[in-house]
Structure 1
Amino acid sequence: MAKAGNGNWFARHKVITAVAATVLFFGVIGAVSDGEPDTGDEAASADQDWQPDAENDDQSDEAEPAVAEEPTPEETEEPSDRDKTPKSPEPDVEREYLVVHIVDGDTLELGNGETVRLVGIDTPEVGECGFEESASRLRELVGGQAVTLGESDEDRDQYDRLLRYVDIGAMDAGYRLIRDGLATARYDSRDGYGRHPREDAYIAADRRSADITCAPPPEPKNFADTGGGGNCDPSYSPCVPLYPPDLDCADTGPVTVHGSDPHGLDADGDGQACGGD
């Protein structure tokens, strides 16, 4: 009986030992599992803090200016043979006109029949000091030559003359006359006219240049002081030489007219001429 009892105890002991070992094994496994970090929870927390790449890219695009991409060699087109053909030069739009006659220092005539009044200048009239000099100088500058016409603020004057600058290359004939003292800067905004494009240059040149001067005219020869004689016209007293040549008041001085007045000195027909009483 004792052996049978001992055998049963050992059998039960093996079962208990196996159960205890199993419990101990799972207990150790559980302890090990409790000591390691929970990577799943931390990963979930990290997902909440991190921003998607797409959002970061959008913010970066707003902060950085766009940079133009340089074309790749494949994008650059070579000009065709047709494009390489040289183009014809543009035609010269400036017309030239032939000067055929100089009227005076500020007026000339063209071969096409037009009369041109130079813009912004004034020169002496017939009989005034400098008339011959200014007309001669304009003739030297442009007479018989091809000129170009520069437009001003007005087209024509009251006499239907073209109002133009007259140029040969870079030479402005009107400016040259002012610079040489043969013309004055006139008919501009200071005189109640429109402001012409070269006005400032003309005025500056006029201030720098010296005015032309002429020798004083000779004293008129007063034939009335010469007394009588065979050459005296009986229509006048004191003596006035016979007609012709034609004389004017500058040649005779004050006279009394007795007859037909062949010299035309008594304009109002009162018998007193050239300032006579």
Structure 2
Amino acid sequence: MAKSLNRRLLITLGIPTIFIPGLILASVLGWDWQNDLQKIQKSGYKDSNLIFQKQMLVTTVIDGDTFEIANGQTVRLIGLNAPDRGEAGYEQASAYLKGLIEGEEVELEYDSYHDDQYGRLLAYVWEKCETQLGCKNGKRMINWVLVKEGYGEFVSYKGRAPLTYEDLLKKTQN
């Protein structure tokens, strides 16, 4: 009974005693939660660097056009379709992409749409380079490299706006 009374008393006194001064301190120190909320609402979640990272370490290559990054998100190379498991070329495409980017820091560039129906990020992937195929100004687009080397094909998405690098990827494939 005494334990129960002490717990109730602590909860009754503790919450107001800690919560209310905490709110006062936050407002005195300048936490403007309304302003932060308005910024997110104006810019939209697609501009959030927390969700849509620009630089990230590739931790695991899943297949020839999909991989995981250090924050646990899955990224699909936009505008590219590599062979799926069970199809001819699957092992080769997966191994090639793994050799290019697994364990490497890459730059992700997003197009007009950022994710697909499976929740994967859709991105152009850029790696730092010096003299490799397609290297220009110290970096090259992995999507382009895979199409150029024959490990994937350009794919456009029906009912969606043209991709930023659509012409480049189409020309590379032909």
Out of 80, 100, 105, the residue aligned to residue 146 of structure 1 is: 105
The alpha-carbon deviation at position 151 of structure 1 amounts to: 1.1
Unaligned runs of 5+ in 1: 1-93, 208-277
Question: What amino acid is the match of 1:202?
Answer: L
Question: What amino acid is the match of 2:140?
Answer: M
CA deviation vs aligned residue, 1:109-159 (integer Å, no higher than 9, x gap): 001111101100001010101101111111111111000100112011011
CA deviation vs aligned residue, 1:192-243 (integer Å, no higher than 9, x gap): 3321100000000011xxxxxxxxxxxxxxxxxxxxxxxxxxxxxxxxxxxx
Query: Match for residue 168 of structure 2?
Result: 201
Equivalent residue pairs, number: 112
Q: Is the 8 A contact 2:63 2:94 kept in 1?
A: yes
Alpha-carbon distance in structure 2 between the residues aligned to 1:195 and 1:168: 23
TM-score, normalisation: structure 2: 0.62
Residues 1:133 and 2:82 aligned together: no
More strand per residue:
2
Query: Match for residue 73 of structure 2?
Result: 114
Cα gap change, 1:158/1:121 in structure 2, threshold over 3 Å: closer, same or farther? Answer: same
The alpha-carbon deviation at position 95 of structure 1 amounts to: 4.1
Map 1:4-153 onto structure 2 (within 5 A). Answer: 95-153=54-112
Query: Match for residue 117 of structure 2?
Result: 158
Alpha-carbon distance in structure 2 between the residues aligned to 1:192 and 1:133: 31
Which structure would you say has the larger Rg? 1
Question: What amino acid is the match of 2:150?
Answer: G
Alpha-carbon distance in structure 2 between the residues aligned to 1:202 and 1:137: 18
Question: What amino acid is the match of 1:126?
Answer: R
Question: What amino acid is the match of 1:138?
Answer: L
Q: Is the 8 A contact 2:54 2:109 kept in 1?
A: no
Identity %: 33
TM-score, normalisation: structure 1: 0.39
Q: Is the 8 A contact 2:68 2:74 kept in 1?
A: yes
SS at match of 2:111: strand
Residues 1:184 and 2:156 aligned together: no
Alpha-carbon distance in structure 2 between the residues aligned to 1:187 and 1:101: 25
CA deviation vs aligned residue, 1:231-265 (integer Å, no higher than 9, x gap): xxxxxxxxxxxxxxxxxxxxxxxxxxxxxxxxxxx
Relative contact order, higher structure (CA 8 A, sep 6+) = 2
SS at match of 2:113: strand
